[in-house]
Amino acid sequence: MVYPGAVHSRFEHSLGVYWLAGDAVQKLHFFQGSELGIDHFDMQTVKLAGLLHDIGHGPFSHLFEREFLPRVHNGAKWSHEEMSVKMIDYIVDEHNIEIDPSGLKRVKEMILASSETKLSNSTREKRFLYDIVANGRNGIDVDKFDYIIRDSRACGLGCNFDFHRLMEMMRVMDGEICYRSKDYLTIHKLFATRADLFRTVYTHAKIKAIELMVVDALVSANGDLNISSYINDPAEYWKLDDTILKTIETAPDQEEELKKSRELIRRIRRRDLYRFCNEYAVPKDKLEHFKNVTPADIICSQKASGVDLKEEEVAVSNVKIDLTRGMNNPLQSIKFFKDYDSEEKISISDEQVSHLLPGCCQDMIVRVYSKKPELVEAVSEAFENFQLKTYGIKTQVHETPEKKKRRR
Protein backbone atom coordinates (compact mmCIF):
# COMPACT_ATOMS: atom_id res chain seq x y z
CA MET A 1 0.00 0.00 0.00
CA VAL A 2 3.05 2.27 0.29
CA TYR A 3 5.48 0.48 -2.04
CA PRO A 4 3.17 -0.60 -4.92
CA GLY A 5 5.92 -2.63 -6.58
CA ALA A 6 6.35 -4.85 -3.53
CA VAL A 7 3.61 -7.30 -4.44
CA HIS A 8 5.55 -10.55 -4.14
CA SER A 9 3.93 -13.21 -2.00
CA ARG A 10 4.90 -15.35 0.98
CA PHE A 11 4.78 -18.30 -1.44
CA GLU A 12 7.52 -16.78 -3.60
CA HIS A 13 9.64 -16.18 -0.51
CA SER A 14 9.13 -19.80 0.58
CA LEU A 15 10.26 -21.06 -2.82
CA GLY A 16 13.33 -18.84 -2.56
CA VAL A 17 14.25 -20.17 0.89
CA TYR A 18 13.67 -23.73 -0.36
CA TRP A 19 16.14 -23.15 -3.18
CA LEU A 20 18.77 -21.40 -1.06
CA ALA A 21 18.52 -24.02 1.69
CA GLY A 22 19.22 -26.73 -0.87
CA ASP A 23 22.07 -24.69 -2.34
CA ALA A 24 23.66 -24.16 1.08
CA VAL A 25 23.60 -27.83 2.08
CA GLN A 26 24.87 -28.80 -1.37
CA LYS A 27 27.88 -26.52 -0.94
CA LEU A 28 28.66 -27.99 2.47
CA HIS A 29 28.34 -31.47 0.97
CA PHE A 30 30.71 -30.55 -1.89
CA PHE A 31 33.42 -29.12 0.37
CA GLN A 32 33.05 -31.27 3.50
CA GLY A 33 30.58 -34.04 2.67
CA SER A 34 32.86 -36.91 3.60
CA GLU A 35 33.76 -35.58 7.04
CA LEU A 36 30.27 -34.28 7.87
CA GLY A 37 28.35 -37.32 6.67
CA ILE A 38 25.78 -35.26 4.74
CA ASP A 39 23.42 -37.57 2.84
CA HIS A 40 20.24 -37.38 0.73
CA PHE A 41 18.06 -37.49 3.87
CA ASP A 42 19.81 -34.37 5.21
CA MET A 43 19.37 -32.50 1.93
CA GLN A 44 15.69 -33.39 1.71
CA THR A 45 14.84 -32.34 5.27
CA VAL A 46 16.71 -29.01 5.03
CA LYS A 47 14.95 -28.14 1.76
CA LEU A 48 11.53 -29.09 3.16
CA ALA A 49 12.17 -26.93 6.22
CA GLY A 50 12.93 -24.01 3.90
CA LEU A 51 9.76 -24.59 1.89
CA LEU A 52 7.47 -24.91 4.92
CA HIS A 53 9.10 -22.61 7.49
CA ASP A 54 6.49 -19.82 7.06
CA ILE A 55 3.37 -21.85 6.40
CA GLY A 56 2.00 -20.89 9.82
CA HIS A 57 1.85 -17.15 9.11
CA GLY A 58 -1.54 -15.51 9.45
CA PRO A 59 -3.05 -12.55 7.56
CA PHE A 60 -0.45 -9.79 7.14
CA SER A 61 2.16 -12.07 8.71
CA HIS A 62 3.90 -10.44 11.69
CA LEU A 63 1.09 -7.94 12.19
CA PHE A 64 -1.27 -10.83 12.97
CA GLU A 65 1.21 -12.44 15.34
CA ARG A 66 2.68 -9.42 17.15
CA GLU A 67 -0.07 -6.81 17.03
CA PHE A 68 -3.50 -8.41 16.58
CA LEU A 69 -3.37 -11.59 18.69
CA PRO A 70 -1.83 -9.96 21.80
CA ARG A 71 -4.70 -7.44 21.78
CA VAL A 72 -7.45 -10.08 21.68
CA HIS A 73 -5.70 -12.73 23.79
CA ASN A 74 -4.52 -10.44 26.60
CA GLY A 75 -0.87 -10.62 25.62
CA ALA A 76 -0.69 -14.43 25.41
CA LYS A 77 2.27 -15.66 23.37
CA TRP A 78 1.74 -17.38 20.03
CA SER A 79 4.29 -17.97 17.29
CA HIS A 80 3.93 -18.65 13.59
CA GLU A 81 6.75 -21.22 13.88
CA GLU A 82 4.69 -23.37 16.24
CA MET A 83 1.67 -22.92 13.99
CA SER A 84 3.80 -24.00 11.02
CA VAL A 85 4.48 -27.29 12.82
CA LYS A 86 0.77 -27.83 13.44
CA MET A 87 -0.03 -27.03 9.81
CA ILE A 88 2.54 -29.56 8.60
CA ASP A 89 0.93 -32.31 10.71
CA TYR A 90 -2.49 -31.31 9.41
CA ILE A 91 -1.38 -31.33 5.75
CA VAL A 92 0.28 -34.74 6.08
CA ASP A 93 -2.79 -36.27 7.76
CA GLU A 94 -5.40 -34.54 5.58
CA HIS A 95 -3.78 -35.51 2.29
CA ASN A 96 -2.40 -38.88 3.35
CA ILE A 97 1.14 -37.93 2.43
CA GLU A 98 3.62 -40.76 2.86
CA ILE A 99 6.72 -39.38 4.53
CA ASP A 100 9.28 -40.81 6.90
CA PRO A 101 8.24 -39.85 10.48
CA SER A 102 11.87 -39.21 11.50
CA GLY A 103 12.29 -36.86 8.53
CA LEU A 104 9.09 -35.02 9.41
CA LYS A 105 10.25 -34.66 13.03
CA ARG A 106 13.54 -33.16 11.89
CA VAL A 107 11.83 -30.72 9.51
CA LYS A 108 9.66 -29.44 12.35
CA GLU A 109 12.66 -29.09 14.66
CA MET A 110 14.51 -27.10 12.00
CA ILE A 111 11.57 -24.70 11.71
CA LEU A 112 11.54 -24.22 15.49
CA ALA A 113 15.31 -23.72 15.66
CA SER A 114 15.07 -19.91 15.90
CA SER A 115 12.11 -19.81 18.30
CA GLU A 116 12.07 -20.06 22.07
CA THR A 117 11.01 -23.73 21.89
CA LYS A 118 13.67 -25.99 23.34
CA LEU A 119 15.02 -28.50 20.83
CA SER A 120 15.30 -32.19 21.63
CA ASN A 121 18.56 -34.00 22.28
CA SER A 122 18.37 -35.56 18.81
CA THR A 123 19.39 -32.21 17.31
CA ARG A 124 22.89 -32.60 18.70
CA GLU A 125 23.70 -34.82 15.73
CA LYS A 126 24.60 -32.65 12.72
CA ARG A 127 23.53 -29.59 14.70
CA PHE A 128 24.79 -27.30 11.91
CA LEU A 129 21.90 -28.40 9.66
CA TYR A 130 19.47 -26.67 12.05
CA ASP A 131 21.20 -23.31 11.46
CA ILE A 132 20.64 -23.16 7.70
CA VAL A 133 16.96 -22.15 7.49
CA ALA A 134 16.29 -20.53 10.88
CA ASN A 135 19.43 -19.81 12.85
CA GLY A 136 18.79 -19.23 16.54
CA ARG A 137 22.49 -19.23 17.38
CA ASN A 138 23.69 -16.19 15.46
CA GLY A 139 20.97 -15.05 13.04
CA ILE A 140 22.73 -15.89 9.75
CA ASP A 141 20.34 -18.02 7.69
CA VAL A 142 18.97 -18.37 4.16
CA ASP A 143 15.59 -16.99 5.28
CA LYS A 144 17.25 -13.58 5.73
CA PHE A 145 19.26 -13.97 2.52
CA ASP A 146 16.04 -14.35 0.53
CA TYR A 147 13.82 -11.68 2.04
CA ILE A 148 16.57 -9.05 2.21
CA ILE A 149 17.41 -9.40 -1.49
CA ARG A 150 13.77 -9.88 -2.56
CA ASP A 151 12.34 -6.96 -0.57
CA SER A 152 15.19 -4.60 -1.51
CA ARG A 153 14.62 -5.28 -5.19
CA ALA A 154 10.80 -5.08 -4.97
CA CYS A 155 10.95 -1.73 -3.16
CA GLY A 156 13.55 -0.28 -5.53
CA LEU A 157 16.13 0.24 -2.80
CA GLY A 158 19.11 -1.60 -4.23
CA CYS A 159 21.23 -3.98 -2.16
CA ASN A 160 25.00 -4.28 -1.96
CA PHE A 161 25.03 -7.29 0.35
CA ASP A 162 26.45 -10.41 -1.35
CA PHE A 163 25.25 -13.58 0.36
CA HIS A 164 26.88 -15.77 -2.31
CA ARG A 165 30.28 -14.93 -0.86
CA LEU A 166 29.24 -16.16 2.59
CA MET A 167 27.77 -19.38 1.19
CA GLU A 168 30.96 -20.10 -0.76
CA MET A 169 33.25 -19.43 2.20
CA MET A 170 31.35 -21.06 5.09
CA ARG A 171 32.73 -24.16 6.77
CA VAL A 172 31.50 -26.43 9.56
CA MET A 173 33.79 -26.63 12.57
CA ASP A 174 32.88 -28.50 15.74
CA GLY A 175 29.23 -28.80 14.68
CA GLU A 176 28.80 -25.09 13.88
CA ILE A 177 28.83 -23.13 10.63
CA CYS A 178 31.77 -20.72 10.74
CA TYR A 179 33.04 -18.00 8.41
CA ARG A 180 36.41 -16.61 7.37
CA SER A 181 37.52 -13.88 9.72
CA LYS A 182 38.25 -11.54 6.82
CA ASP A 183 34.54 -11.69 5.85
CA TYR A 184 33.26 -10.11 9.08
CA LEU A 185 32.44 -6.86 7.24
CA THR A 186 30.28 -8.79 4.76
CA ILE A 187 28.40 -10.36 7.68
CA HIS A 188 27.95 -6.98 9.34
CA LYS A 189 26.58 -5.65 6.06
CA LEU A 190 23.93 -8.40 6.16
CA PHE A 191 22.64 -7.15 9.51
CA ALA A 192 23.02 -3.48 8.57
CA THR A 193 21.02 -4.01 5.34
CA ARG A 194 18.31 -5.74 7.32
CA ALA A 195 18.21 -2.79 9.75
CA ASP A 196 17.94 -0.37 6.80
CA LEU A 197 14.97 -2.34 5.46
CA PHE A 198 13.26 -2.12 8.84
CA ARG A 199 13.86 1.62 8.99
CA THR A 200 12.85 2.52 5.43
CA VAL A 201 10.26 -0.14 4.59
CA TYR A 202 8.91 -2.37 7.37
CA THR A 203 8.55 0.48 9.90
CA HIS A 204 7.96 3.34 7.43
CA ALA A 205 5.73 5.93 9.16
CA LYS A 206 2.91 5.54 6.60
CA ILE A 207 3.17 1.75 6.67
CA LYS A 208 2.86 1.75 10.45
CA ALA A 209 -0.17 4.07 10.20
CA ILE A 210 -1.88 1.57 7.89
CA GLU A 211 -0.88 -1.33 10.12
CA LEU A 212 -2.39 0.40 13.16
CA MET A 213 -5.63 0.85 11.23
CA VAL A 214 -5.68 -2.76 10.01
CA VAL A 215 -5.16 -4.03 13.56
CA ASP A 216 -7.97 -1.80 14.86
CA ALA A 217 -10.22 -3.11 12.06
CA LEU A 218 -9.42 -6.75 12.84
CA VAL A 219 -9.86 -6.27 16.59
CA SER A 220 -13.21 -4.57 16.02
CA ALA A 221 -14.36 -7.37 13.70
CA ASN A 222 -13.12 -10.17 15.92
CA GLY A 223 -16.26 -10.24 18.06
CA ASP A 224 -18.43 -10.92 15.02
CA LEU A 225 -16.11 -13.00 12.82
CA ASN A 226 -14.22 -14.69 15.67
CA ILE A 227 -10.96 -14.39 13.71
CA SER A 228 -8.72 -15.27 16.64
CA SER A 229 -10.38 -18.67 17.15
CA TYR A 230 -8.97 -19.91 13.83
CA ILE A 231 -5.57 -20.48 15.42
CA ASN A 232 -7.04 -23.35 17.44
CA ASP A 233 -7.84 -25.51 14.40
CA PRO A 234 -5.46 -25.95 11.44
CA ALA A 235 -8.41 -27.17 9.33
CA GLU A 236 -9.89 -23.65 9.65
CA TYR A 237 -6.68 -21.66 9.98
CA TRP A 238 -5.51 -22.33 6.41
CA LYS A 239 -8.58 -20.45 5.13
CA LEU A 240 -7.48 -17.26 6.90
CA ASP A 241 -5.43 -14.89 4.72
CA ASP A 242 -5.20 -11.24 3.64
CA THR A 243 -8.65 -11.46 2.01
CA ILE A 244 -10.13 -11.07 5.50
CA LEU A 245 -10.28 -7.33 4.76
CA LYS A 246 -12.40 -8.00 1.68
CA THR A 247 -14.63 -10.25 3.79
CA ILE A 248 -15.21 -7.38 6.21
CA GLU A 249 -15.80 -4.88 3.39
CA THR A 250 -18.37 -7.03 1.60
CA ALA A 251 -20.27 -8.25 4.68
CA PRO A 252 -24.02 -7.46 4.64
CA ASP A 253 -24.82 -3.94 5.84
CA GLN A 254 -27.02 -5.31 8.60
CA GLU A 255 -23.89 -6.57 10.35
CA GLU A 256 -23.72 -3.58 12.67
CA GLU A 257 -20.73 -5.00 14.56
CA LEU A 258 -18.61 -4.70 11.43
CA LYS A 259 -19.54 -1.08 10.74
CA LYS A 260 -16.49 0.36 12.53
CA SER A 261 -14.16 -2.11 10.81
CA ARG A 262 -15.60 -1.31 7.38
CA GLU A 263 -15.16 2.40 7.94
CA LEU A 264 -11.49 1.92 8.90
CA ILE A 265 -10.84 -0.11 5.75
CA ARG A 266 -12.62 2.53 3.63
CA ARG A 267 -10.39 5.17 5.20
CA ILE A 268 -7.34 3.14 4.14
CA ARG A 269 -8.69 2.86 0.58
CA ARG A 270 -9.30 6.63 0.50
CA ARG A 271 -5.88 7.30 2.03
CA ASP A 272 -7.50 8.96 5.01
CA LEU A 273 -4.92 7.50 7.37
CA TYR A 274 -4.16 8.03 11.03
CA ARG A 275 -2.14 11.26 11.07
CA PHE A 276 1.51 10.90 11.99
CA CYS A 277 2.28 13.60 14.57
CA ASN A 278 5.92 13.10 15.46
CA GLU A 279 8.57 10.68 16.66
CA TYR A 280 11.64 10.60 18.84
CA ALA A 281 14.56 8.23 19.30
CA VAL A 282 14.98 7.02 22.87
CA PRO A 283 18.34 8.24 24.28
CA LYS A 284 21.07 5.56 24.39
CA ASP A 285 21.35 5.64 28.18
CA LYS A 286 17.59 4.97 28.50
CA LEU A 287 17.39 1.98 26.14
CA GLU A 288 18.11 -0.76 28.66
CA HIS A 289 15.18 0.08 30.93
CA PHE A 290 12.80 1.40 28.28
CA LYS A 291 9.12 0.52 28.65
CA ASN A 292 6.71 0.79 25.76
CA VAL A 293 4.90 4.12 25.58
CA THR A 294 1.10 3.83 25.56
CA PRO A 295 -1.74 6.18 24.52
CA ALA A 296 -2.45 6.60 28.25
CA ASP A 297 1.06 8.06 28.73
CA ILE A 298 0.34 10.67 26.06
CA ILE A 299 -3.11 11.52 27.40
CA CYS A 300 -1.75 12.02 30.92
CA SER A 301 0.71 14.59 29.52
CA GLN A 302 -1.79 16.93 27.87
CA LYS A 303 -2.18 20.47 29.10
CA ALA A 304 -5.43 22.32 29.53
CA SER A 305 -5.95 23.58 25.98
CA GLY A 306 -9.68 23.24 25.48
CA VAL A 307 -9.33 19.79 23.84
CA ASP A 308 -9.92 16.76 26.04
CA LEU A 309 -8.10 13.87 24.37
CA LYS A 310 -9.23 10.27 24.87
CA GLU A 311 -7.06 7.15 24.70
CA GLU A 312 -9.00 5.75 21.77
CA GLU A 313 -8.12 8.86 19.73
CA VAL A 314 -4.36 8.31 20.02
CA ALA A 315 -2.18 5.53 18.59
CA VAL A 316 1.42 4.84 19.59
CA SER A 317 3.94 2.70 17.70
CA ASN A 318 7.05 1.57 19.60
CA VAL A 319 9.54 0.60 16.90
CA LYS A 320 12.64 -1.42 17.79
CA ILE A 321 15.32 -1.69 15.11
CA ASP A 322 18.41 -3.74 15.87
CA LEU A 323 21.04 -5.97 14.28
CA THR A 324 19.19 -9.18 15.38
CA ARG A 325 20.81 -9.36 18.83
CA GLY A 326 19.14 -6.47 20.64
CA MET A 327 21.72 -4.14 22.14
CA ASN A 328 24.53 -6.66 21.56
CA ASN A 329 26.88 -6.72 18.58
CA PRO A 330 25.81 -9.72 16.43
CA LEU A 331 29.45 -10.45 15.53
CA GLN A 332 29.95 -11.62 19.11
CA SER A 333 27.62 -14.59 18.48
CA ILE A 334 29.43 -15.75 15.33
CA LYS A 335 32.40 -18.09 15.10
CA PHE A 336 35.16 -17.53 12.55
CA PHE A 337 38.29 -19.27 11.28
CA LYS A 338 41.52 -17.63 10.12
CA ASP A 339 42.11 -19.67 6.95
CA TYR A 340 41.18 -23.00 5.42
CA ASP A 341 44.05 -24.78 7.14
CA SER A 342 42.74 -23.71 10.55
CA GLU A 343 41.18 -26.31 12.79
CA GLU A 344 40.14 -23.88 15.49
CA LYS A 345 37.10 -21.61 15.52
CA ILE A 346 37.61 -18.15 16.98
CA SER A 347 35.60 -15.12 18.06
CA ILE A 348 36.20 -11.53 16.97
CA SER A 349 36.16 -8.97 19.76
CA ASP A 350 35.00 -5.36 19.43
CA GLU A 351 38.63 -4.22 19.62
CA GLN A 352 39.48 -6.18 16.46
CA VAL A 353 36.81 -4.75 14.15
CA SER A 354 36.75 -1.57 12.10
CA HIS A 355 36.19 1.57 14.16
CA LEU A 356 33.73 2.70 11.49
CA LEU A 357 31.18 0.13 12.66
CA PRO A 358 28.49 1.51 15.00
CA GLY A 359 29.07 1.31 18.73
CA CYS A 360 25.33 1.00 19.44
CA CYS A 361 23.39 -1.84 17.84
CA GLN A 362 19.80 -0.86 18.62
CA ASP A 363 17.37 1.99 18.04
CA MET A 364 14.06 2.46 19.80
CA ILE A 365 11.76 4.94 18.07
CA VAL A 366 8.46 6.11 19.53
CA ARG A 367 5.89 7.39 17.03
CA VAL A 368 2.57 8.95 17.89
CA TYR A 369 -0.47 9.21 15.62
CA SER A 370 -3.77 11.04 15.86
CA LYS A 371 -6.73 9.00 14.68
CA LYS A 372 -8.59 12.21 13.83
CA PRO A 373 -7.04 14.98 11.69
CA GLU A 374 -8.49 17.78 13.82
CA LEU A 375 -6.60 16.49 16.89
CA VAL A 376 -3.08 16.55 15.44
CA GLU A 377 -2.12 19.75 17.26
CA ALA A 378 -3.43 18.58 20.64
CA VAL A 379 -1.77 15.15 20.31
CA SER A 380 1.53 16.71 19.18
CA GLU A 381 1.60 19.04 22.17
CA ALA A 382 0.80 16.22 24.58
CA PHE A 383 3.58 14.15 22.99
CA GLU A 384 6.10 16.97 23.46
CA ASN A 385 5.01 17.37 27.07
CA PHE A 386 5.51 13.65 27.62
CA GLN A 387 9.09 13.86 26.33
CA LEU A 388 9.88 16.87 28.53
CA LYS A 389 8.42 15.09 31.55
CA THR A 390 10.26 11.82 30.79
CA TYR A 391 13.67 13.03 29.60
CA GLY A 392 13.75 16.73 30.41
CA ILE A 393 14.25 17.55 26.72
CA LYS A 394 12.37 17.32 23.44
CA THR A 395 14.42 14.63 21.71
CA GLN A 396 12.62 14.77 18.36
CA VAL A 397 14.52 16.31 15.45
CA HIS A 398 11.64 18.26 13.91
CA GLU A 399 8.59 19.87 15.36
CA THR A 400 5.21 18.96 13.92
CA PRO A 401 4.68 21.35 10.96
CA GLU A 402 2.14 24.11 11.56
CA LYS A 403 0.29 23.27 8.34
CA LYS A 404 -0.23 19.71 9.61
CA LYS A 405 -1.56 21.05 12.91
CA ARG A 406 -4.08 23.26 11.08
CA ARG A 407 -5.17 20.59 8.58
CA ARG A 408 -8.72 19.35 9.01
The gap between the terminal CA atoms of the chain, to the nearest Å, is 23
Per residue in 74-87, is it b (16+ CB within 10 Å) or e — as a string?
eeeebbbbbbbbbb
Distance of alpha carbon 357 from alpha carbon 352, whole angstroms: 11
Per the DSSP assignment, residues forming a β-bridge with 321 are 363
| Cα distances (Å, whole numbers) of residue 30 to 23, 36, 130, 146, 232 | 10, 10, 18, 22, 43
Q: Is the Cβ–Cβ distance between 277 and 380 less than 8 Å?
A: yes
Q: Which of 277, 310, 307, 313 is nearest to 387 (CA)?
A: 277
Distance of alpha carbon 191 from alpha carbon 316, whole angstroms: 26
Distance of alpha carbon 225 from alpha carbon 257, whole angstroms: 9
User: HEC profile for 98-128?
Assistant: CCCHHHHHHHHHHHHHHCCCCCCHHHHCCHH
Catalytic residue among 62, 80, 164, 188: 80
Give Cα 66 to chain centroid, integer Å: 9
Active site residue 80: yes
Catalytic residues: 80
